[in-house]
Amino acid sequence: MGISWFDLVVVIAYLGGVTALGARFGKRQRNLHDYFLGGRRLPWWAIALSIVSAETSILTIISTPGIAYSTNMAFLQLVFGYLVARVVVSFILIPKYFAGELYTAYQLIERRFGRTLKVFTAGLFLLTRALAEGVRVFALSIVIEILFKTGVFPAVLLITVLTVFYTFEGGLTGVIWTDVAQLSIYLCGTIFALGIAVHAIPGGWTEVVHLARISGHKFRVFDFHFNWHQPYLFWSGLIGGTFLTSASDGTDQLIVQRLLAARNRRQSQAALLSSGLIILFQFTLFLCVGVVLFAYYHFFPPAHPFSRADKIFPTFVMTELPTGLSGLLIAAIIASAMANLSAAFNSLASSSMVDFYKPFVRPNADEKHYLRVSRGMTLAWGAILLGIALVSQYLHESVLELALTIASIPYGSLLGIFMLGALTRRATSRGTLIGAVAGLTTLMAVVLADALGLVNIAWTWYVVIGTLVTFVVGWLASAVAPQVAIPPATPGC
């Protein structure tokens, strides 16, 4: 069953409206401060919603229900770690970010350790963020394949072009306000979809609970067993989620850029802490959708078994929701991918400009030149991510876990570096770099050994391992490695 013509009109109108909304802020972009920080005029609550939207992406919408459909709601234990991490970042790293005028997270590293480590951390961000976002672009093709029966390339090309356009024009201001609109719509649409599914099940919610219980306690959240192999246990979720999100929210330019765009330190902290409550609600909602759809398809089996769990929720949206609502939710799902992509384009461009181009290529150009080149970098990163997405279509893992695994590999070294800078005075530039290389090498060895079947360690422990190795080795190496001269950081930017 294909999408109806009316739903198609809704999708086209919505995508056109979102693109226009983001692009309308183009006239406000006069310099890098406007383009990458929104002039620090954005309210904290909009930044909070944008943080959630940037973290969510299309992977959460299509993969999280599939996890609960296949197993249970134990994924929520990871989300509890997300909440703890927000407290850590709010009171350890945010005060340091607002101690000066910064555009990227890695300028903080330059201030503490010098230019070499800034290049190392910013380079890690650019590489792994591009890989992870390329996988997210591919995730969009899963939805497009179900909805429009098109090939991967035309659909992903269209969405990438639209997203690059409003990011190119509107900068961070356009990105954040489109995030706010899209998050509100897809959460409301998902609540409506959940209600429709429950109403269609004979016996309603009572039957959902009954089937969930007899089918393996699908509403179960807590599992206090401990082993290194399962990602969704309490301790692996809480500890792993804390380390993972401390790294993503505290060292990844994708989120740090939003924190830096707040009007002051207190509003930045308020935005990050309040985003945790929204994240908890959102993941609970999508996991409940998965459990409800398990009950729904128990009574109304699909014509063909699902080839992968990622397709379950998009299939329900397309085939079972009323005309109009289906189109709106389809558009919101696609637009969530656009929101995440726009955040990636803007953060990749900001780090490329501030951490590499400005200090190394044209350190004394005027603001008009930097703004023009920044927009060019947005276009370039759009082309790179499109290429990565086309390669990702040949992978078969859950796209959510694949993207989180890719991000987890460098996050340990990044978080270890930031913690050495924030928590110790003893750490030196050379010692910290030794620790970072040790952490990255150790984690890559663990991932390779896991892939070869030599060990079995859940991906939730990757950031923990990388962070601890980086911190301990960096601290010890700093005790024996002589301090090197630190080049002065470039003022302001």
Kindly list the domain boundaries of the chain, sorted by start residue: 5-397
* 251 CB-near residues (< 8 Å, 6+ apart): 93, 105, 121, 125, 411, 414, 415, 417, 418
At 89, the pLDDT band (50, 70, 90 cuts) reads very high
Closest alpha carbon to 342 in 136, 138, 89, 155? 136
Check: CB of residue 298 under 8 Å from CB of residue 69. Answer: no
pLDDT of 328 reads 79
Size of the chain in residues: 493
Output the CATH code of domain 5-397. Answer: 1.20.1730.10
- CA proximity to 75, closest of 313, 284, 282: 284
Torsion angles phi and psi, residue 365, rounded to 5: -75, 170
What is the mean predicted confidence (pLDDT) over 159-172? 79
Residue type, 280: L
E strand or H helix at 328: helix 325-351
Q: Tokens representing 294?
A: 């398990």
Instruction: Name the token pair of 200.
Output: 């269609």
What percent of the residues of the chain are helix, what percent strand, and what percent coil, each to the nearest 5? 80, 0, 20
* Mean per-residue pLDDT, 396-408: 58
Q: Are 286 and 64 in contact (CB under 8 A)?
A: yes
Give me the sign of the Cα torsion angle 93, 98, 101, 104. Answer: positive
Instruction: Tell me the average pLDDT across 130-142.
Output: 73
Alpha-carbon gap, residue 155 to 441, rounded angstroms? 37
Q: What is the torsion angle, in degrees rounded to the nearest 10, for the CA atoms of residue 265, residue 270, residue 271 and residue 274?
A: 160
CA 194, 175, 327 angle in degrees (round to 5)? Answer: 35
Calpha distance 376→372 (Å, rounded)? 6
Residues 298-324 have a mean pLDDT of 81
> Average pLDDT in the 36-63 region?
84
**Minimum mean pLDDT range among 215-219, 379-383, 430-434:** 215-219
Highest mean pLDDT among 108-112, 391-395, 472-476: 472-476
The reported pLDDT for the residue numbered 488 is 41
